[in-house]
């Protein structure tokens, strides 16, 4: 899949390894790919089903290894000829998982492309190893030609990325040079900038031979992959899948409780506890409504923290804040303290009924790692004691989750790839589109 890096010569992690010349014809190479997919259908039906739906496209003119866009399997003939049949199976599984987990379509966000590429490869390669899918390609000395570490077993790409970022901040990115290399092509294509569907060689819808898609087409591809994944799981048996894939299938097939309802119930119940409900005075005899009145003269404080590590898109942020504003519109005497955070709090804003409309204009910043503790440090330093604290995050702190005794906390977890995340205190709510 693509990222935002185009010059392979400038990459700290190389993708264009030395590949010997081949005397095999293009037809023979394609035949080897077809045989590898047939073998996967027998040995790993789920992966084989998804690999078979990818159209094989010779991309010798631009692709040094292999790649995918969710519809096609692009390959370099010399590279494929350098692999054993089992290594070819592994490569197919590698591309299938990139598609399934949407590594390059949506999840990269504003993250560093190089670190994200490596994190994504660590995630998929570990799953393939644990699932006994083929063999990871080897180098001349017999070492793995890709990123794999048992440390990252059951870790999602975002969590791996945060771990790599933490190491990069301490040691610099030079440490990446000794770690391995990408086994597939992660060049700049599939960014949603094109005029039409890319076909791996058509003039329209390509950029230097690489496919380019519109945003609408990318969304269609995502939907196609999800549909294919559910179909493959139903026909082959989801119980045999690795845990991460089981969670994905479950999330796509089982009904989910709407996070909006839970958020509204939680915040409104907090606000109601500080209001008395009374019938209107005789002066307002014309209405029979029961109106809220505040128990005291103090403003009610609600704190909202947005994880800026890349786990939340601008669209999701806007949707979340819209729900909050809908609640604000029903009450008058409370404040919203809103900020973004990574390893520290930044861009704090305060909203009241007087400027509630500006809430939807809040810009989600971008950051690096994720330290949850900084949110409680900030509230304590500013003397804010909220009735409710809501954190919108992917649920992966570097260290601790925070101070469970300070205030009533809701963790709104935006992590479709690890639905089992549960905060050690407060209320955990799973975000769903």
Higher local confidence (pLDDT), 363 or 276: 363
Q: Convert the pLDDT of each residue in 129-174 to its tens digit.
A: 999 999 998 866 566 677 888 999 888 888 888 888 888 888 877 7
* Residue 432 Cα to chain centre, angstroms: 13
Contacts of 249 (CB under 8 A, 6+ apart): 229, 230, 233, 238, 241
Q: Which burial class, exposed, middle or buried, applies to 281 when counting CB atoms under 10 A from its CB (0-12, 13-18, 19+)?
A: exposed
CB 111 within 8 A of CB 155: no
Instruction: Give, in words, the CATH class of 259-430.
Output: alpha beta
Instruction: Compute, in degrees rounded to 10, the torsion defined by CA atoms 269, 270, 275, 280.
Output: -30
The answer on pLDDT for 179 being more than 80 is no
The answer on pLDDT for 178 being more than 90 is no
Q: Convert the pLDDT of each residue in 281-292 to its tens digit.
A: 443 344 444 444
* Mean pLDDT, rounded, for 35-44: 94
Concatenating the DSSP letter of every residue in 359-403 gives GGGPPP---SS--THHHHHHHHHHT---SEEEEEE-S--SS----
Higher local confidence (pLDDT), 130 or 14: 130
The answer on pLDDT for 320 being more than 70 is yes
Q: How far apart are CA 208 and CA 47, in angstroms?
A: 30
Q: CA 171 → CA 12, 165, 167, 433, distances in Å?
A: 14, 10, 6, 38
Q: How far apart are CA 167 and CA 149, in angstroms?
A: 15
Q: How far apart are CA 393 and CA 89, in angstroms?
A: 36
Higher local confidence (pLDDT), 281 or 252: 252
Q: Convert the pLDDT of each residue in 358-377 to its tens digit.
A: 999 998 877 667 889 999 99
* Residue 230 Cα to chain centre, angstroms: 19
Evaluate the CA torsion angle 107, 112, 115, 118 in order and state its sign: positive
Contacts of 37 (CB under 8 A, 6+ apart): 48, 51, 52, 92
- For the chain, give every domain's residue range: 8-253, 259-430
* Mean pLDDT, rounded, for 299-322: 87
What's the pLDDT band for 298 if we cut at 50, 70, 90? low
Percent of the chain with pLDDT over 70: 78
What's the pLDDT band for 175 if we cut at 50, 70, 90? confident
Q: How far apart are CA 363 and CA 213, in angstroms?
A: 27
- State which H helix or E strand residue 303 sits in: strand 300-307
CB 212 within 8 A of CB 92: no
Higher local confidence (pLDDT), 286 or 420: 420
Question: Within 10 Å of residue 240's Cβ, how many Cβ atoms?
Answer: 13
Q: How far apart are CA 202 and CA 193, in angstroms?
A: 16
The answer on pLDDT for 125 being more than 60 is yes
Q: Which of 207, 245, 209 shows the shortest CA–CA distance to 225? A: 245
* 163 CB-side CA count, 13 A: 15
What's the pLDDT band for 414 if we cut at 50, 70, 90? confident
How high does pLDDT run on average in the chain?
79
CB 350 within 8 A of CB 335: yes
* Residue 274 Cα to chain centre, angstroms: 38
The rounded radius of gyration (Å) of the Cα atoms in the chain is 25
Residue 163 backbone dihedrals phi, psi, to 5 degrees = -65, -45
With 0.75 as the threshold, say if the pTM is over it: no
The answer on pLDDT for 177 being more than 60 is yes
Q: Convert the pLDDT of each residue in 107-121 to its tens digit.
A: 777 778 888 889 999
Q: CA 94 → CA 50, 73, 122, 299, distances in Å?
A: 11, 11, 10, 54
pLDDT at 199: 44
pLDDT at 207: 57
Q: How far apart are CA 145 and CA 138, in angstroms?
A: 5
């Amino acid at each position: 899949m693509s990222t935002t890096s185009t010059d392979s010569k400038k990459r700290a992690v190389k993708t264009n390894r030395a590949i010997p010349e081949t005397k095999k014809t293009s037809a023979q190479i394609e035949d080897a790919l077809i045989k590898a997919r047939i073998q996967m259908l027998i040995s790993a039906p789920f992966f084989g089903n998804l690999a078979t739906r990818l159209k094989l496209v010779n991309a010798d003119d631009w692709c040094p290894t292999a790649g995918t866009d969710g519809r096609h399997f692009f390959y370099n003939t010399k590279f494929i000829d350098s692999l054993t049949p089992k290594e070819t199976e592994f490569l197919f599984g590698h591309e299938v998982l990139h598609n399934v987990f949407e590594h390059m379509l949506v999840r990269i966000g504003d993250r560093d492309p190089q670190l994200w590429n490596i994190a994504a490869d660590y995630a998929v390669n570990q799953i393939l190893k644990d699932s006994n899918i083929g063999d990871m390609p080897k180098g001349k000395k017999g070492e793995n030609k890709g990123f794999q570490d048992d440390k990252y077993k059951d870790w999602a790409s975002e969590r791996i990325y945060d771990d790599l970022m933490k190491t990069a901040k301490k040691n610099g990115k030079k440490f990446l040079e000794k770690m391995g290399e990408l086994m597939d092509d992660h060049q700049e294509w599939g960014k949603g900038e094109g005029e039409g569907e890319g076909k791996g060689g058509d003039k329209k819808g390509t950029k230097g031979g690489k496919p380019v898609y519109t945003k609408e087409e990318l969304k269609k591809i995502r939907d196609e992959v999800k549909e294919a994944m559910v179909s493959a799981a139903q026909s082959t048996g989801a119980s045999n899948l690795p845990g991460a894939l089981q969670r994905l299938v479950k999330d796509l097939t089982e009904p989910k409780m709407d996070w909006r309802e839970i958020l509204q119930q939680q915040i409104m119940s907090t606000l109601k506890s500080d209001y008395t409900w009374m019938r209107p005075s005789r002066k307002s005899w014309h209405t029979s409504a029961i109106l809220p009145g505040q128990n005291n003269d103090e403003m009610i404080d609600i704190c909202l923290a947005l994880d800026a590590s890349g786990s939340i898109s601008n669209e999701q942020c806007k949707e979340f804040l819209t729900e909050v504003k809908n609640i604000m519109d029903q009450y008058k005497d409370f404040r919203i303290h809103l900020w973004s955070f990574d390893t520290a709090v930044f861009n704090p804003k305060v909203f009241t009924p007087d400027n509630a409309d500006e809430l939807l204009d809040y810009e989600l910043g971008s950051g690096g790692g994720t330290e949850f503790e900084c949110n409680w440090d900030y509230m304590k330093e500013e003397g804010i004691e909220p009735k409710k604290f809501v954190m919108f995050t992917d649920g992966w702190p570097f260290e601790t989750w925070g101070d469970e005794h300070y205030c009533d906390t809701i963790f709104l977890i935006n992590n479709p790839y690890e639905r089992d995340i549960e905060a050690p205190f407060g209320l955990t709510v799973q975000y769903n589109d």
